[in-house]
Amino acid sequence: MGDTLSTPLYIGRFAPSPSGPLHFGSLVAALASYLDARAHHGKWLVRMEDIDPPREQPKAADLILKALDVYGLHWDNSVLFQSDRSEAYDQAINTLLREEKLYPCTCTRKKLAGLDGVYPGYCRSQREIPNQPHSLRLLCSSSIIQFQDRIQGDQSFDLSTLGDFILKRKDGLYAYQLAVCIDDNFQGVTHIVRGVDILDSTPRQLYLQSQLNYPHPVYAHVPVITQNNGNKLSKQNHAPAIPLNNPRPLIIKALTAFGLKPEPDLLMNSVEEILSWGTKNWSMRNMAGKKEILQDSL
Ligand code: GLU
Ligand code: ZN
Q: How far apart are CA 227 and CA 11, in angstroms?
A: 32
Q: Is pLDDT at 3 greater than 80 in this prediction?
A: no
Q: Is pLDDT at 81 greater than 90 in this prediction?
A: yes
- Give the CA distances from residue 114 to residues 109, 170, 171, in Å, rounded to whole numbers and listed in that order: 10, 19, 21
Q: How far apart are CA 236 and CA 139, in angstroms?
A: 31
pTM here?
Answer: 0.94
Amino acid 239: pLDDT: 85
Ligand closest to Cα of 204 equals 1
Answer whether 51 contacts ligand 1 (Cβ < 6 A): no
Amino acid 114: pLDDT: 85
- Give the CA distances from residue 262 to residues 118, 258, 278, in Å, rounded to whole numbers and listed in that order: 44, 11, 8
Long-range contacts of range 271-277, CB-CB < 8 Å, 24 or more positions apart? 271/70, 271/71, 271/72, 271/247, 272/72, 274/72, 274/248, 275/34, 275/35, 275/38, 275/72, 275/73, 275/251
Domain boundaries, the chain: 11-297
Answer whether 220 contacts ligand 1 (Cβ < 6 A): no
Calculate how far, in angstroms, residue 178's C-alpha sits from the geometric centre of ligand 2. Answer: 18
Ligand 1: nearest atom to the Cα of 197: 10
- Give the CA distances from residue 117 to residues 121, 161, 164, 296, in Å, rounded to whole numbers and listed in that order: 12, 10, 10, 33
> Quick one: DSSP state of residue 172?
S
Segment 213-248, tens digit of pLDDT: 999 999 999 999 998 787 888 877 778 999 999 999
Answer whether 15 contacts ligand 1 (Cβ < 6 A): yes
Which CATH fold topology does 11-297 show? Rossmann fold (3.40.50)
Best residue for ligand 1 mutational test, from 23, 47, 51, 180 (most atoms within 8 Å of Cβ): 180
Segment 106-130, tens digit of pLDDT: 999 899 988 888 899 999 999 899 9
Most distant CA pair in the chain: distance in Å?
66
Q: Are strands 292-294 and 218-222 parallel, antiparallel or unpaired?
A: unpaired
